[in-house]
Structure 1
């Protein structure tokens, strides 16, 4: 007993002897970290004055910067960027505007010409482009495993490169790289805001892993293995916590839909400075399509969306197959499914090949057409002739394609989730604006119902839909965007 007691005392004395040096070491390390942070911040502020010197009047121009590494792409996120810049330049002409981009293979002039060609948007003032060399750090292909964490860490490094090249007064992340927000706020001393198109992680993603459902972002070998599923769930929860911390650094948070807002509020917990700013949709281009009320002998069902896995084109083909099974040979000959979309890379092109194989296996290849990377005028022609506009993505964050189909005058059928359910296909003055479904059978039922409606009733739904999409015009976007961003500029 005495020996064991002496042993216990020795252990206590040993651990006690470690406490004082340990605490001292932690204290010294903390002081060093704080001093390093302060020195680094002072150096960045000095660099800021060097990069943007005062003008002839002694005043330094206010700099507003957008972080948009893929600004030369032609998607809805880029349309938000150019409309946002146009709105700010019209309101605040004296401000210097900067865009951080990784599109180093083109010039600034080519980027602006691309915005004019793709979106018919011409900026009223100049923009300075800061070309980043390390954009590859945010590409998913670089991180086959732990992709979310890898891309987020990569965005931090890319943000550091951006900060070293230009230190703005107001920083707006317009692509969803939330991990750059504390970098610009605390080291750059900027007023920071963000426009969130899609949360990097959502409570729905946590539910998919927890319930062990197979999705495009939850592979079968993980969903069927309880150990891997639990490990991934822990990883997701840790990442969600980190995502909430960095996101809450933003003084102004703009989200593109009610669905996105619900997830951001759950994770970032910043309700007092979060607002919905619907993305600007080019509805004017489609509203000039004449609504024809005459009966059609043939009906086309048109899907518009990039050939990405989350768009779930396979669901469209399977639902269309079920619809054809209900029809006579004569009726089948008058029905056509047209899949219109863009291919970004060889993976998307391979996906089109696989979808064509699916059509052959189901025996519907004669009734399905693929239109890849077609011209905009051809898109308008297909939409003007279509009876139904089809969209099957689960939890689409907003759904610009859904809005465009409604503006074009198709009767729109979308997935009963996300933006289409909460924001877009809602009643207009008590009238129906479209239809929602969520399974092969329910999509087939809805298509069958739409095709069987009297011409007058179909026309009324199309008119209701057109009236409802005015909420998503460029003008409405500019008003809500400026209202959200104005506090950032007033603080400087």
Structure 2
């Protein structure tokens, strides 16, 4: 039994450690938040620059959106601005404060949002806080990128909170390591998360442990047992830290079932983690006629390594090698992108006699430009360059034309968390083929065609019921396949061949089923409904907290 003296020493040591911990927390709070006068001054700036409607509410709330790239114009930004639009429509007393590193004014930002997404945002409840430390997350490192960027996100969130402390912290990029900092600064700030992709997943860990090469595991590490073991330990430790950080979120929305499954395993909060599909602009695409279509196999994705455009080139090469009837006649002049689009846009264009692969995507930088050129050279080495077009940074109007006339859509990224481009191709009427994994497999192309086309009996039953269906929900409920899924180059080639020879009645059936799915599951209205279910309890909680404070003061 320990003596009284040793017990006193033990209690003293514990007390010292506790005091050090409290002092550290206070130091972080003082360093991050600054003085109360500083925060009052920041809040006063926001008040002067905004005009929330408080006729139905005593005082405004301030929602801070931690989204350092609000002006990029991608799928993540559509989610951001759709959330803000939803808040403005239902909660006009909430001011949306956007933590931005894009160095643009509020008016310029809102003009770009309307031009890109067609969303009209009320500037009266928008305030932009500039982040000068965004370089902390911009830089790419050859090693330990996940760790360095996560640490950088913590410092960047510290700068954001220092420049304005919100009532609600909404994180819509995926930087879960910011959550403990926000909770440490004040427990009264609820944390709302919308996660597009887990920073680390069991798939990434499996790839490393099995020594498989991929985007997150290069050949040098995959070929070394020692390096693979060390990286596995690094991923294991990082996953533990990521799980701890994610547990601080008040509510978590994910963009797909795949992302949800991973976050439930990591954060262990199944009741707080729900799928809210991102909003997709399907209205314009849905107006395109389903036929006639040209035998164009269209890809729509940024020229990033994880999109795996090389697999598309390989699949198309396999298609032409195994089916010589699809090879362009040797003496025929090949199409350029301009001449092909001009041909398609004619009032009654002749049907092209052979398939052409059209890769359309954005290039963010010189590295992406180099990848696009590498694809051209790969097609040339494989001898199929006469039937392959690589188009970089095409204007959106031209992209719409390609979607209008192409027959087949292809997307080859493995473990794509969702795939907005896939939804757009389905809504536009393309017979869509995607990788048999993650979001496309679980949420978008479901049910799918894999090896064989639906039987004549299935088609007849669906067609008969289709004629009696009065809305898109009825069509989705019939459970007819909405596209193809594949994994290998050979499977993608076989799927392309099946789509090319599909009878018109079957093709139209798949197109209608796919379009109905796009217009019901992935619309702006569906997103808003799901978002309100997760966000409204947070607002009610804030009301309760404010009421309790008022009662205490009285």
- Confirm or deny a common fold (TM above 0.5): yes
Sort the Cα spacing of 1:437 and 1:45 in 2 relative to 1 into closer, same or farther, 3 A. Answer: farther
The two structures have a TM-score, normalised by structure 1, of 0.91
Q: Distance in 1 between matches of 2:59 and 2:170?
A: 20
The residue correspondences of 1:151-166 to structure 2 (distance < 5 A) are 151-166=149-164
Q: Distance in 1 between matches of 2:369 and 2:528?
A: 36
**Which secondary structure does the structure 2 equivalent of 1:371 belong to?**
strand
Contact 1:66 1:100 in 2 (8 A): yes
Contact 1:93 1:125 in 2 (8 A): no
Contact 1:44 1:187 in 2 (8 A): no
How far did 1:315 drift? 0.2
Contact 1:44 1:167 in 2 (8 A): no
1:12 aligned residue: none
Structure 1 runs not aligned, ≥5 long: 1-16
**Alignment pair present for 1:187 and 2:207:** no
Contact 1:52 1:60 in 2 (8 A): no
2:482 aligned residue: 433
Q: Distance in 2 between matches of 1:365 and 1:129?
A: 47
How far did 1:145 drift? 1.5
**Which secondary structure does the structure 1 equivalent of 2:434 belong to?**
strand
- 2:20 paired residue among 5, 14, 32: 32
Count of residues paired in the alignment: 471
**Alignment pair present for 1:206 and 2:205:** yes
2:386 aligned residue: 366
Sort the Cα spacing of 1:63 and 1:362 in 2 relative to 1 into closer, same or farther, 3 A. Answer: same
1:10 aligned residue: none
- 2:305 paired residue among 303, 309, 332: 309
**Alignment pair present for 1:472 and 2:460:** no
Q: Distance in 2 between matches of 1:123 and 1:26?
A: 53
Sort the Cα spacing of 1:30 and 1:330 in 2 relative to 1 into closer, same or farther, 3 A. Answer: closer
Contact 2:39 2:163 in 1 (8 A): no
Sort the Cα spacing of 1:22 and 1:155 in 2 relative to 1 into closer, same or farther, 3 A. Answer: farther
The residue correspondences of 1:31-180 to structure 2 (distance < 5 A) are 31-38=19-26, 41=29, 46=36, 47-52=38-43, 61-104=60-103, 106-126=104-124, 127-141=126-140, 143-180=141-178
Sort the Cα spacing of 1:246 and 1:377 in 2 relative to 1 into closer, same or farther, 3 A. Answer: same
Structure 2 runs not aligned, ≥5 long: 49-53, 330-353, 448-475, 543-554
- Segment drifting more, 394-403 vs 17-26: 17-26
How far did 1:330 drift? 6.1
Contact 1:100 1:131 in 2 (8 A): yes
Runs of 4+ in 1 over 6 A off after TM superposition: 17-23, 54-59
- 1:356 paired residue among 376, 398, 403: 376
Q: Distance in 1 between matches of 2:198 and 2:35?
A: 31
**Alignment pair present for 1:319 and 2:315:** yes
How far did 1:186 drift? 2.3
1:482 aligned residue: 532
Contact 2:106 2:123 in 1 (8 A): no
**Which secondary structure does the structure 1 equivalent of 2:99 belong to?**
strand
The residue correspondences of 1:237-248 to structure 2 (distance < 5 A) are 237-248=236-247
Sort the Cα spacing of 1:363 and 1:315 in 2 relative to 1 into closer, same or farther, 3 A. Answer: same
Q: Deviation digits for residues 174-223 of structure 1, max 9, x if unmatched?
A: 11111111111221331111000000001100000011100021010101
How far did 1:329 drift? 5.3
How far did 1:94 drift? 1.2
Contact 1:87 1:478 in 2 (8 A): yes
- Segment drifting more, 85-94 vs 46-55: 46-55
Q: Distance in 1 between matches of 2:527 and 2:326?
A: 46
How far did 1:258 drift? 0.2
**Which secondary structure does the structure 2 equivalent of 1:387 belong to?**
strand
The two structures have a TM-score, normalised by structure 2, of 0.81
Contact 1:163 1:188 in 2 (8 A): no
Contact 2:25 2:184 in 1 (8 A): no
1:11 aligned residue: none
Contact 1:394 1:418 in 2 (8 A): yes
How far did 1:97 drift? 1.2
**Which secondary structure does the structure 1 equivalent of 2:177 belong to?**
helix
Sort the Cα spacing of 1:18 and 1:239 in 2 relative to 1 into closer, same or farther, 3 A. Answer: farther
Q: Distance in 2 between matches of 1:22 and 1:146?
A: 39
Q: Distance in 2 between matches of 1:18 and 1:393?
A: 62
Q: Distance in 2 between matches of 1:434 and 1:25?
A: 65
How far did 1:450 drift? 1.1
Q: Distance in 1 between matches of 2:203 and 2:28?
A: 39
Q: Distance in 1 between matches of 2:217 and 2:8?
A: 47
Q: Distance in 2 between matches of 1:444 and 1:163?
A: 51
The root-mean-square deviation of aligned C-alpha atoms, in Å, is 2.3
Q: Distance in 2 between matches of 1:387 and 1:275?
A: 35
Q: Distance in 2 between matches of 1:131 and 1:50?
A: 16
Q: Deviation digits for residues 310-335 of structure 1, max 9, x if unmatched?
A: 00000000000000112335654511
